[in-house]
Structure 1
Amino acid sequence: MLLLLGSWGMGRRSPWVRASDPSDCGAAAFASIAGHHRHHISLEHARSLVGTDRDGTSLAGLRDGGRAIGFDARPARATYEALGQVKLPAILHLKDDAGHYVVLDEWTPEDVALVDPRVGPRRMSRQQLESSWSGYAVEFHPTATLRTRPPDFQALTALVRTLLPHVNPLLLALGISVLATALGWSTSFFLKSFFDDILPARAHDSLKLLGAALVAAGLLQSLLQFFRMWLTARVGHALQRTYGRQFIQHLMTLPMRVFDSRNISGFVMRVNQLDAIQGALTEGLVALVVEGLVFTGTLGIIVSLDPVLALFSLCALPPVLLGTFFLSERVRSAQLDSMTQGDEFAGRLLEVFEGIRVIKISSAEKGYSQLLLDKFDTLVKARHELRVAMLLPLLWSMLTSTLVIGAVLWYGGTRVLAQHISAGELLVIFGMVALHLNPLQRLPTMLLNLHSAFIGMARLDEVLKLPAEETRASSPITLASVQGHLQFDRVCFEYKHRRPVLKNVSFQISAGECVAVIGETGSGKSTIANLLAAFYLPTSGDVRIDGVSTRELDPRELRRHVSVMFQGSHVFQQSINDNITMMHPLRPDDVSRIAHVANIASFIESIPQGYNAQVAQGGANLSTGQLQRINIARAIMKDAPILILDESTSNLDSATERGVMAAIKEARKGRTTLIITHKLSTAMEADRVMVLSKGELVEQGTHEELQLRDGHYRKLFPR
């Protein structure tokens, strides 16, 4: 998210773009550089330009991203002295943790001024920098192609877009709040009448009427406030439901590369923040407007009663606004840090407990417990610093208000003693001053809560702005039926700015043919499955289904014709039936037939709840073979003409493997089948074997043919 926190020092500085995830520091630094040159881009846009993934950003990615928007970007090694000749601002790569990027904004022989995506602007001595710097820097020279791009006020636009459908109930809540506040003001005038009229005249009947009026006003005010809170709660519920549903539905439309390049816990935490966001927006916005009206209205009443005392009460405004302004930077930083640490802790907690079986068998509870405790302590510290940071503006406003109230009481008392005003009038003025100062006391908290909501909205909007998986072609081709002819034509593939995974791979698979793909770990076998499933497009070359390039097909339409059983396929905490059908409406006898083909029916029918039995998290209540066969059943369920099995018999004992292989043999009948494996027994079942090595197709043929050659296959499987 783009958060401009102003400048520091002299001259125009680079804006601080806060990294919302530890891997985002390179993208955030890049967005900061672009913003310095008045080409403002969001963090999400920066991520896509520089190719940020879970491993972070490469120097090559920063170079290519800079060139894409009009910079002559040059990564290079340098010395501290050489930085004095570098075009600033530049990006430096630090060695801490897994690597970190910062913006070098200013250089002197003694120290440097940095903009750190984690903590904002800071200075670092020469010694500190030299001890943490890797020696790499990236210069950015603007060229004639670099265009000015105005800031995208995404938090504000997201807020307006979200609240527009709820304007009428919010306006009604605002009107009710104004009416309830006006009733509260009447108390001061009742007290004036009590002291100036009723008490001196000993008017018992008037006293009864005054008491009844006070009770009636109090009851009406309470009812109005209740109705106002009910309205805002209803709007908040609608806002949370609408925005939450929109967010979840959009997540499901995102392309696979988004999930491969991000920590999923960040998405989870964004959804969890919806409750706090809707509360701050609905209650906070109404309260801010009402408090503004209260501040203005009470000031008008005080001016009409005593202009001098009105000046006294206005004296509180400048110090409160200045204090809020100067202290807000610390609060904003603490808010972002608290959110980021929450994301990190949630992700690590999920990771540790998903692997708890491995941790226990490794007797590593102590080490991982300490790891979680360290992350938890960091989170608690961040939240504590946020609370302290939010208290400072509040305490400052309370102190200022107290001083003003004391001054009003002193001056007003002298006016009463001089008989310029009555005691009742002083009570009215004093009550109005107190009401006038209440909004100022609450102003810092309201503004900071709203800002926290804006940050949350911006974080949600970051994801909502990610483009959904769409057809790559302007006029996509629809495949009415698929025979299953597969072709790779000089396919090269690399994950953005990383080493090549596939290099000039070409092959054809005939419809109905069964082909095994063999190769060592990291040779690119699973990438072939990802390309056939259209999760990614080739960097160059073409992948064709029945002669049609995947670039010309709607990826979601293509997947209707492809079944894939990925290595370590996931099972859900649902019934076995739902895990097989994947929420598609299938008749029970169809599910049973599929289970028989997958050789899992006898097991399912032997357990008490049968197909309705619940699968534990991660399939903990099922054996590896049972999980594999459920996944095979899931692949069969689609009845697709193309079947891809990625390491479907890995980590199985011989007996279980025979059962799974029997299921596979039955499942592949009449289908084009691609079996990705590292096992000889699996490869021997195929019509043809293709051998990959370091991303290249080095051999292909039948098992018998390859055994006769002195090639990679023989080295992998000696006779």
Structure 2
Amino acid sequence: MHYGYGYFEETQLGRVRDLKLWNRLLEVLRPFWKPILGAALLSLGISAAGLAIPYVVRLGVDQFVTQETLPLVIRMEGLRQLAWVFGGLMAFGFVGSFFQVVLLEWAGQQVMHTLRQRLFHHVVHLDVAFFNRQPVGKLVTRLTNDIQNMHEAMTSVVVTVFNDFLQLFGILAILFWMNWRLTALLCTVIPVVILVTLWFSRLARESFRDLRTRLARLNSFLQEVLSGLFIIQTFQREKDTATRFEALNEAHRLAAFRQIHLFGLFMPFIEVVHSSAVALMIWFGGRGIVEGSMSLGTLIAFLSYVRLCFQPIRELSQKYSIVQSALASAERIFELLDTPRSVSNSRGAVRLPQLRGALTFDGISFGYDATRLVLKDVSFHVNPGETVAVLGATGAGKTTLIHLLERFYEPLAGRILLDGYDLRHLDLTWLRRQIGLVLQDVFLVPGTLGDNICLDLSLDAETLDRIVHHAQLRSLIQRLPDGLNTRIGPGGMDLSAGQKQLLAFARVLARDPKILILDEATSNVDSSTEGDMNVAMETMLAGRTAILIAHRLSTVQKATRILVLEEGRVVEWGSPEELLRRNGAYARLVRGDSACVEAMDNGTIGSSYEFLPSK
């Protein structure tokens, strides 16, 4: 069974001792050092207030409660003053904790917002080749779950761990100052707690990893089932699918229970050790009171400090897994941020002041895998304003030509020239704005029809109306309830394949590019919009250099010259009349079996047709 990309990644946890990773994290946090420092200083004050409270209780008991020789008025006044001190410490702890949480959350949200923006900006500018290798689910996880893991670690661990360590060492220092003999006795118990905590952390890490793995398998299976539900119902695999889901769900439940059992064992054990330490303190401290070597207030304060001592130990063991999970997420985020672009602007990239649209493919060789070439020494020239059709079987390299022209990939050999300039020396953003690309599948942006035409452009009503007219969309818009303001795509009305293609034509007209590429854009056209499609295409092709990749003969016949590819090589190149006279692959396609030609004209044969071998 296939578990999906996330399965293997979720089995990994971060390395706490990875100094390079911590340095990268500090670089992310550095711009927000002020609120983080403020939270750390507040943490010092909160810890000091918390540690002072038992000592105030000790003073109250020893100096006023048990001092029966003092006048009642003095004892009550002393207790009243200590009560005010006690209340002030509690209030300071409350207010300080509030502002500490606010500062941490503000800094955490700012850091994650900045990091998410930086990561998104980096991802959308990566090459197309990168997305061919990476599952979409992985990238979504980076921008959501992994970012959230880092936020949780920062807000609930970074300062609180510092606070826990500070509180632990502060308590031990106070206890040694108050009574070193009793503290030495307590220190015989603390190593047991530390050893058990380390043992628990190791088991918790394994349990946490196992639970994440089971959840990744469950999520991956759900994604596969929901995306292929049509196939499952068609072949009546509901029962088998439910059985497999039940097995994965049961494995996840057992992993969750193992984690629950582990925590259920550790927490009571810590409480037993804590109670044992309290019992020892009462036994030996009580003897000290009876013998007169210790005061009652000291014992009460000691017991309070013992209770406070076990709290950070317990919390540190629980936060260890959170830190590891956050470090694993940080490692994956930084790995993605470090992914370089293989296609970028060269130094001194230029923008042509005036573009004619002449294209030259000069000895182009390319393969998505360098050991298997898709294009082999392809050369041809397209004059400005000329329309060229590219034909070939599936895998012949037709779409690859477009990828190279858009500079989604760089050729392994040869060069592509635009008006005599190598594409690698042209500004990449400017280049892609000069090329209008219409694909077979049209992507709809959630929004209105007008939004889908304009995209990032701001067009006035007159210009938009002219575009709608030339794209043959006016009749459609007049039938819609809200015209251009009608919502389409996800959450709105659906459009037919032909209507989507007309919308894609309108997008191209809105940008008015000099070069036009149609990659089988008319293959799914329905008969009701075919006439509008032909009119819109005539408008688009006028005055533009165009490359048509199509299998419909009616579309190919719009071309002034035709390029025929076979196994990545140019086997024919010339005008339709020339190719017919040569009686080669193109001629056999046109003059071949009438049923095949009719099927192609009707769009029922896709681009996977094969030419007969040339004589």
Equivalent of residue 693 in structure 1, options 534, 559, 566: 566
Write 1 or 2 for the structure with the bigger share of helix: 2
Counterpart for residue 425 of structure 1: 298
Counterpart for residue 49 of structure 2: 183
Structure 1 residue identity aligned to 2:486:
A
| Pairing 1:477–2:460 present | no
Conserved? CA contact 2:389–2:550, under 8 Å: yes
Which deviates further from its counterpart, 556-565 or 640-649?
556-565
| Pairing 1:166–2:32 present | yes
Structure 1 residue 435 displacement after superposition: 1.6
* Cα distance in 1 for residues equivalent to 2:240 and 2:375: 37
Pair 415,334 (structure 1): closer, same or farther in 2 beyond 3 Å: same
Counterpart for residue 479 of structure 2: 606
Which secondary structure state, in structure 1, belongs to the residue aligned with residue 523 of structure 2? coil
Alignment of 1:103-502 (within 5 A): 153-200=19-66, 201=68, 203-273=75-145, 274-315=147-188, 318-323=191-196, 325=198, 328=201, 331-332=204-205, 362=234, 366=238, 370=242, 373=245, 377=249, 380=252, 384=256, 387-388=259-260, 391=263, 395=267, 401-468=274-341, 471=344, 473-496=346-369, 499-502=372-375
Which secondary structure state, in structure 1, belongs to the residue aligned with residue 304 of structure 2? helix
Conserved? CA contact 1:155–1:455, under 8 Å: no
Which deviates further from its counterpart, 285-294 or 307-316?
307-316
Which secondary structure state, in structure 1, belongs to the residue aligned with residue 166 of structure 2? helix
Which secondary structure state, in structure 1, belongs to the residue aligned with residue 488 of structure 2? coil
Pair 460,677 (structure 1): closer, same or farther in 2 beyond 3 Å: same
Pair 332,162 (structure 1): closer, same or farther in 2 beyond 3 Å: farther
Once the two structures are superposed, residues 399-448 of structure 1 have per-residue CA deviations (whole angstroms, 9 ceiling, x without a partner) of 65555444444433343344321222111112112222221111112232
Which deviates further from its counterpart, 322-331 or 695-704?
322-331
Counterpart for residue 496 of structure 2: 623
Conserved? CA contact 2:6–2:216, under 8 Å: no
Pair 469,490 (structure 1): closer, same or farther in 2 beyond 3 Å: closer
Which secondary structure state, in structure 1, belongs to the residue aligned with residue 35 of structure 2? helix
Q: Which has the higher contact order (CA 8 A, sep 6+)?
A: 2
Which deviates further from its counterpart, 569-578 or 304-313?
304-313
Which deviates further from its counterpart, 606-615 or 273-282?
273-282
* Cα distance in 1 for residues equivalent to 2:254 and 2:20: 25
Conserved? CA contact 1:394–1:444, under 8 Å: no
Identity of aligned residues (%): 28
Structure 1 residue 691 displacement after superposition: 1.5
Pair 503,296 (structure 1): closer, same or farther in 2 beyond 3 Å: same
Counterpart for residue 545 of structure 1: 418
Counterpart for residue 63 of structure 1: none
How big is the alpha-carbon RMSD for the aligned residues of Structure 1 and Structure 2?
3.5
Which secondary structure state, in structure 2, belongs to the residue aligned with residue 622 of structure 1? coil
* Cα distance in 1 for residues equivalent to 2:514 and 2:450: 23
Structure 1 residue 553 displacement after superposition: 2.6
| Pairing 1:596–2:469 present | yes
* Cα distance in 1 for residues equivalent to 2:544 and 2:571: 26
Structure 1 residue 601 displacement after superposition: 2.4
Equivalent of residue 531 in structure 2, options 658, 663, 678: 658
Conserved? CA contact 1:345–1:379, under 8 Å: no
What TM-score do you get using the length of structure 1 for normalisation? 0.73
Pair 268,409 (structure 1): closer, same or farther in 2 beyond 3 Å: farther
* Cα distance in 2 for residues equivalent to 1:344 and 1:560: 42
Once the two structures are superposed, residues 18-65 of structure 1 have per-residue CA deviations (whole angstroms, 9 ceiling, x without a partner) of xx973997xxxxxxxxxxxxxxxxxxxxxxxxxxxxxxxxxxxxxxxx
Structure 1 residue 642 displacement after superposition: 0.5
Structure 1 residue identity aligned to 2:139:
F
Write 1 or 2 for the structure with the bigger share of strand: 1
Structure 1 residue 530 displacement after superposition: 0.8
* Cα distance in 2 for residues equivalent to 1:712 and 1:338: 59
| Pairing 1:526–2:526 present | no
Structure 2 residue identity aligned to 1:703:
P
Which secondary structure state, in structure 2, belongs to the residue aligned with residue 617 of structure 1? coil
Q: What are structure 1's unaligned runs of at least 5 residues?
A: 1-19, 26-116, 122-150
Structure 1 residue 513 displacement after superposition: 0.7
Structure 1 residue identity aligned to 2:90:
G
Once the two structures are superposed, residues 434-483 of structure 1 have per-residue CA deviations (whole angstroms, 9 ceiling, x without a partner) of 22222111111223222222222222212211224663533323322321
Structure 1 residue identity aligned to 2:514:
P
* Cα distance in 1 for residues equivalent to 2:294 and 2:523: 92
* Cα distance in 1 for residues equivalent to 2:439 and 2:41: 58
| Pairing 1:22–2:5 present | yes
Conserved? CA contact 1:492–1:541, under 8 Å: yes
Conserved? CA contact 1:337–1:382, under 8 Å: no
* Cα distance in 2 for residues equivalent to 1:367 and 1:483: 62
Q: Which has the larger radius of gyration?
A: 2
Which deviates further from its counterpart, 532-541 or 462-471?
462-471
* Cα distance in 2 for residues equivalent to 1:703 and 1:270: 51
Structure 1 residue 225 displacement after superposition: 1.2
Alignment of 1:507-526 (within 5 A): 507-526=380-399
Pair 212,525 (structure 1): closer, same or farther in 2 beyond 3 Å: same
Structure 1 residue identity aligned to 2:57:
L
* Cα distance in 1 for residues equivalent to 2:465 and 2:131: 33
Pair 296,249 (structure 1): closer, same or farther in 2 beyond 3 Å: same
Which secondary structure state, in structure 1, belongs to the residue aligned with residue 487 of structure 2? coil
Pair 429,386 (structure 1): closer, same or farther in 2 beyond 3 Å: same
* Cα distance in 1 for residues equivalent to 2:385 and 2:251: 55
Equivalent of residue 442 in structure 2, options 554, 566, 569: 569
* Cα distance in 1 for residues equivalent to 2:175 and 2:201: 30
Which secondary structure state, in structure 1, belongs to the residue aligned with residue 298 of structure 2? helix
Pair 176,631 (structure 1): closer, same or farther in 2 beyond 3 Å: same
Q: What are structure 2's unaligned runs of at least 5 residues?
A: 595-615
Counterpart for residue 581 of structure 1: 454
Conserved? CA contact 1:173–1:231, under 8 Å: yes
